[in-house]
């Protein structure tokens, strides 16, 4: 009987001592709960499998509140099947290839090439980090295939 309890105790300690593998970017966003609009948009744009891929990716992730700041009807319009290409363009404008951490940018202003094809301006020279006109509200949310920086606005590529 003591051996049975010893095995259970060892298994319990191993479960606590072995951290679970980090979730990928999509799983991290889903689990967070503040990215329902973003995850729905990723599904509509067929980008879920991409952001579940190897990466690494840096994602500037707008919250549900950020999407609410867009003009009325914008999200609904982008989610229509006939606007899939435009939705992909907007979403991939929030993604940079590579693993860009906030510490890499501290005190700098730089342009970063997005997966969409054009650059975003990242300004980390002041107290707040800005990506174009969005403010990073939470930096360095680690995922197994990259990093998420939470932003307070949806950034839109130039037409």
pLDDT score recorded for residue 34: 95
As a three-state string, the secondary structure of 91-155 is HHCCEEECCCCHHHHCCCEEEEECCCCCEEEEECCCCCCEECCEEEEEEEEEECCEEEEEECCCC
pLDDT score recorded for residue 69: 97
H-run or E-run covering 1: none
pLDDT score recorded for residue 126: 86
Residues 39-67 have a mean pLDDT of: 96
Nearest-angstrom CA–CA distance, 56 and 96: 9
Residues 62-66 have a mean pLDDT of: 98
- For 104-150, the pLDDT digits (tens) are 888 999 999 999 999 999 999 988 999 999 999 999 999 999 999 99
Domains and CATH numbers, the chain: 22-151 (2.30.180.10)
What phi and psi, each to the nearest 5 degrees, are found at residue 119?
-100, 150
pLDDT score recorded for residue 11: 33
- DSSP-based three-state secondary structure for 61: strand
- For 5-50, the pLDDT digits (tens) are 333 333 333 333 334 458 999 999 999 999 999 999 999 999 999 9
Q: Are 90 and 79 in contact (CB under 8 A)?
A: no
What pTM, to 2 d.p., does this model score?
Answer: 0.85
pLDDT score recorded for residue 158: 86
Q: Are 29 and 47 in contact (CB under 8 A)?
A: no
């Amino acid at each position: 009987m003591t051996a049975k309890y010893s095995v259970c105790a060892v298994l319990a300690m191993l479960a606590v001592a072995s951290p679970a593998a980090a979730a990928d970017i999509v799983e991290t966003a889903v689990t967070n709960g503040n990215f329902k609009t973003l995850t729905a948009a990723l599904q509509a744009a067929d980008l879920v499998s991409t952001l579940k891929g190897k990466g690494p990716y840096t994602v500037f992730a707008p919250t549900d509140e950020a999407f609410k700041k867009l003009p009325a009807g914008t999200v609904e319009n982008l989610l229509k099947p006939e606007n899939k290409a435009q939705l992909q363009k907007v979403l991939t404008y929030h993604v940079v290839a590579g693993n860009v951490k906030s510490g890499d940018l501290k005190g700098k202003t730089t342009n970063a090439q997005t997966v969409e094809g054009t650059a975003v301006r990242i300004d980390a020279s002041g107290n707040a980090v800005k990506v174009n006109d969005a403010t990073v509200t939470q930096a360095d949310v680690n995922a197994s295939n990259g990093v998420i920086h939470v932003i307070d606005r949806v950034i839109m590529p130039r037409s």
